[in-house]
Structure 1
């Protein structure tokens, strides 16, 4: 009788808990964002459509002596609230670069070069459609992937066990966002005020000094961030850039070992004598043992995902879809250029650039991700909803041009979502992303655990 062999161990790539939390929040945000988008479209095409435009054009602000800050409600969402969204993006970038998936060259090379292809090819396609029409300046509209919709649709319709594919696409979306934010700050800002920029630079320097002093409390960075937003807003550069800078400048590195080792001592003191003072000291010790950026992201990310982004969709997705509007839009090279650039540009650009990176030996696809998954994810990355609408607001002053661009964004994003979902679901049945054991153990062996023992 044959002796049984050693226990079979399956090593499955495990995504870190922090990334899992981020992905779960983004997936939930996609549902709320979709609902807000539907409400905006219904409202803008209902008998109360005038109320939609009037409501978001309502002025609101604050006055202190001769100083005043006044914006309409849509600008409060686009300029102020969206700064929180971009701060979360910056925090996620900083964390992944510091001690996440972006710290290793081979891990980041393929999605980064894929993102570069997903930036350049859509722009070239858009310019090919709009050359000579006067709409060329809107090329930044097709440069970004909507992370919330991307992750949310992947969670709902993607293949089983898609963690490594999610992480690959999240890395791609982060690099993609860096490019889009840079273009937004450089290309779509005008009437720049040098004194206000000097104040903003001084505040950035102050945050760098806080980092150098190893200040771990969140409050000083938040105060500097609010002042930085005011300075950037006054400078003429789009104020959401302040959110990105805050996210990148808040410390994301792991705490010093002595801070972590001090926590049990303070916790033990609290167990010995449960006074308010010892509770406060234990709380401070615990906070010092967690990266400042992680704590700030935990505070901001739910607000960004479930309040800010849906509000943005509600304020900006309302576009008239009457027969005349649709006829005009789909007869426009602007609308067709945006839609084709989002779907075809991302599919070709991301797949082609990522494949080139693999062929050149610069990196590898993670886990059991295959070229088919790469293609499906690239199509899904054509969902350019949030930042595409955001850039369109900056690029087009004419309401008719803006309406055509929005219809192109909605059309391209919808086609990319449906086509990408179908492709990934079909591929998921043929190219499983789970471990080999998840397809079923060999006859006579017990079921294998999802995670290998330590």
Structure 2
């Protein structure tokens, strides 16, 4: 179980799932796999979704629940529990959102692909932290904390985009009932530490499923149900539930979504025939994120109170920007939503996400490894400077 919870595991499995999906989609069994993805299952005439939508709207709601629990903790007890702590990553996150949008619109502005501007704004927390764990041995903890706060703020923006931009024909009555179910879920979760625990858990599961169905039927994207439930649940039981769900999210939910989203044929056309969405995302993720996060982060170093945030160097911010360019999960979801009515553009946007994220992974691995070597090299020197003359290594006289 410890392997399934490690930072490295999700990154490796996600990448493997996406690569496998591309191989399958471009092989002789590609049409059969696509047919399975678009096959409808459920209760005929009552509630049916395609396999792809069960993964995207159903399983991914569990992932967003886990993200929301972590967000709730960080906002109350963690690295974002005060404006003072959140200032530096918030400024960097703003740069990492605005600049990629601008880069994307340089390619796609004025075209039918312009609706995809939210796609390169996302950062995949699991993937970014996995790359950091693989190549960042020796990095100060402040860099990881900064990246985590940055990615969480990116996720907040992504959640807002999903809730606001991709909501159609909202049924306010159903949404109100869903809100009541969320409130009941939050209140009932406070009773998990008393007797009747099994009954409370059963009722919570029923309320969670009812909330998901109501949100889906209301016209709001169903993953928002997972966000609302994760924020509403009492923190102690929420953290326990997150701990139990984490291995399943890492080994089933995210890989299945990555496989489903990346199950696209590579178009056999010249580069000039590819959609502007492809080029906009391909460049905006690695370049826009690095420039935006590094520049805004550098500004934040001069704005934030000294000692309130990690002491980061400009090259640390560049490495964090490269990690931020790994959009993957949320970017893939935004691609599905932005171009749901244009399958060809959606597929090319998906390839742009995969290509841009892959480029960011390579650049981030090189930069993080370089910064880690730097800190491993300077750490002994800094320690030696702190030792009094003549004192044995590791001992302070």
Establish whether TM, by shorter chain, passes 0.5. Answer: yes
SS in 2 for 1:135: helix
Write the distance in 1 (CA, Å) between the matches of 2:5 and 2:291.
28
Structure 1 unmatched runs, 5+: 1-20, 253-290
Structure 1 contact 437–448 (Cα < 8 Å) conserved = no
Alignment equivalent of 2:333, drawn from 390, 409, 416: 390
Structure 2 contact 128–326 (Cα < 8 Å) conserved = yes
Change (3 A) 1:447 1:88: farther
Pairwise mapping of residues 362-381 of structure 1 onto structure 2 (< 5 A)? 362=305, 366-367=309-310, 369-381=312-324
SS in 1 for 2:118: helix
Structure 2 contact 123–327 (Cα < 8 Å) conserved = yes
Write the distance in 2 (CA, Å) between the matches of 1:325 and 1:241.
38
Pairwise mapping of residues 352-363 of structure 1 onto structure 2 (< 5 A)? 352-362=295-305
SS in 1 for 2:220: coil
Structure 1 contact 160–434 (Cα < 8 Å) conserved = no
Tell whether 2:59 aligns with 1:81: yes
Alignment equivalent of 1:58, drawn from 33, 39, 48: 39
Alignment equivalent of 1:131, drawn from 109, 118, 125: 109
Change (3 A) 1:371 1:183: same
Superposition deviation, residue 28 in structure 1: 1.3
Deviations 1:191-221 (A, max 9, x none): 211221121122133235446x666467244
Compute the TM-score of the two structures, normalised by the length of structure 2.
Answer: 0.89
Change (3 A) 1:376 1:365: farther
Tell whether 2:158 aligns with 1:180: yes
Structure 1 contact 343–379 (Cα < 8 Å) conserved = yes
Task: Please tell me the root mean square deviation across aligned C-alpha atoms, in Å.
Answer: 2.7
Instruction: Tell which structure's C-alpha radius of gyration is larger.
Output: 1
SS in 1 for 2:93: helix
SS in 2 for 1:110: helix
Write the distance in 1 (CA, Å) between the matches of 2:360 and 2:51.
30
SS in 2 for 1:102: coil
Alignment equivalent of 1:317, drawn from 258, 262, 268: 262
Superposition deviation, residue 381 in structure 1: 0.8
Compute the TM-score of the two structures, normalised by the length of structure 1.
Answer: 0.78
Write the distance in 2 (CA, Å) between the matches of 1:433 and 1:56.
50
Tell whether 2:69 aligns with 1:91: yes
Most deviating of 48-57 and 420-429: 420-429
Most deviating of 348-357 and 174-183: 348-357
Structure 2 unmatched runs, 5+: none
Number of residue pairs the alignment of both structures matches: 386
Write the distance in 2 (CA, Å) between the matches of 1:372 and 1:321.
35
Write the distance in 2 (CA, Å) between the matches of 1:304 and 1:434.
38
